[in-house]
Amino acid sequence: MSARLSRVRSLAAVLLLGLSVAGCGYNTIPTDEEAAKAKWGEVQNQYQRRADLIPNLVSTVQGYAKQEKDVLTSVVEARAKATSVHIDASQLTDPDKLKQFQDAQAQLSGALGRLLAVSENYPDLKSNQNFLALQSQLEGTENRIAVARRDYIEAVRVYNTDLRTFPTALWASLFFKDAKPMAEFTANDTAQTPPQVKF
């Protein structure tokens, strides 16, 4: 009887310990870290989608605007640079790496903006169905990028908050000592300047 009672007590202690660990936030840090990494994967997915659209867009514009070689070349070069900057999930705690990635993507965004502005000078291009479809896909992708970045920023906020607030900060200091705050996207300098409108 005492051996059986001892096993019941041991089982009850294990269950109580399991419930207390589950209820006190021990799993919060790794869960939120994985969620932030998954959101980062979606950011990269959307940037890759944009990069995949660009060669078709450049080819379409090239057929109509051969004399705009500088703009077309700048788009191709910016795409090459943007796709060469990679950040995997293990580098999300390095703000400099994230800034490097963000700057390359911003440069590509600027080049794409110039390419779309050039298209305004070519009425035949603006009415080309292939160009219109690509432009629409690009606009949709830019919206998806904005949503993916917003979701990543929120996931990082939750994770970073967990590392600094009680009781999860206690778990971080005891069991997740290598957990570091993740870097967030920040607005680049040009985002702070209002656009100039000329009539």
20-63 confidence digits (pLDDT tens): 655 567 899 999 999 999 999 999 999 999 999 999 999 999 88
Read off the pLDDT band of 189 (50, 70, 90). Answer: low
Torsion angle of the four alpha carbons 148, 190, 82, 152, in this order, in degrees rounded to the nearest 10: -20
The whole-angstrom separation of Cα 54 and Cα 75 is: 8
State the average pLDDT over residues 155-161: 97
Give how far Cα 48 sits from Cα of 32, 42, 86, 118, 170, Å: 24, 10, 11, 24, 38
pLDDT band of 191, cuts 50, 70, 90? low
DSSP 26: T
- Which residues contact residue 164 at a Cβ distance below 8 angstroms, ignoring those fewer than 6 apart? 181
Range 3-17 average pLDDT: 73
* pLDDT tier for residue 18 given thresholds of 50, 70 and 90: low
The per-residue pLDDT of the chain, averaged, comes to: 87
| Cα angle for residues 159, 161, 162 (degrees, 5° grid) | 65
- At residue 131's C-alpha, the angle toward residues 128 and 136, to 5°, is 125
Cα–Cα distance for residue pair 61/55, rounded to 1 Å:
10
Residue 66, pLDDT score: 80
User: What is the pLDDT, as a whole number, of residue 195?
Assistant: 45
Q: How far apart are CA 100 and CA 86, in angstroms?
A: 9
**Count of positions (residues) in the chain:** 199
Q: pLDDT-derived band of residue 199, with 50, 70 and 90 as boundaries?
A: very low
Pair 35, 158: CB distance under 8 Å: yes
Q: Does pLDDT of 16 surpass 70?
A: no
pLDDT tens for residues 93-130?
A: 999 999 999 999 999 999 999 998 988 889 888 888 98
Distance of CA 179 to the CA centre of its chain: 20
Cβ proximity of 185 and 153 under 8 Å:
yes
- Count of helices and strands (H, E) across the chain: 7, 0
What pLDDT is recorded for position 197? 37
Average pLDDT over residues 160-189: 89
Structure tokens at 181: 């705050």
Greater confidence (11 vs 1) lies with 11
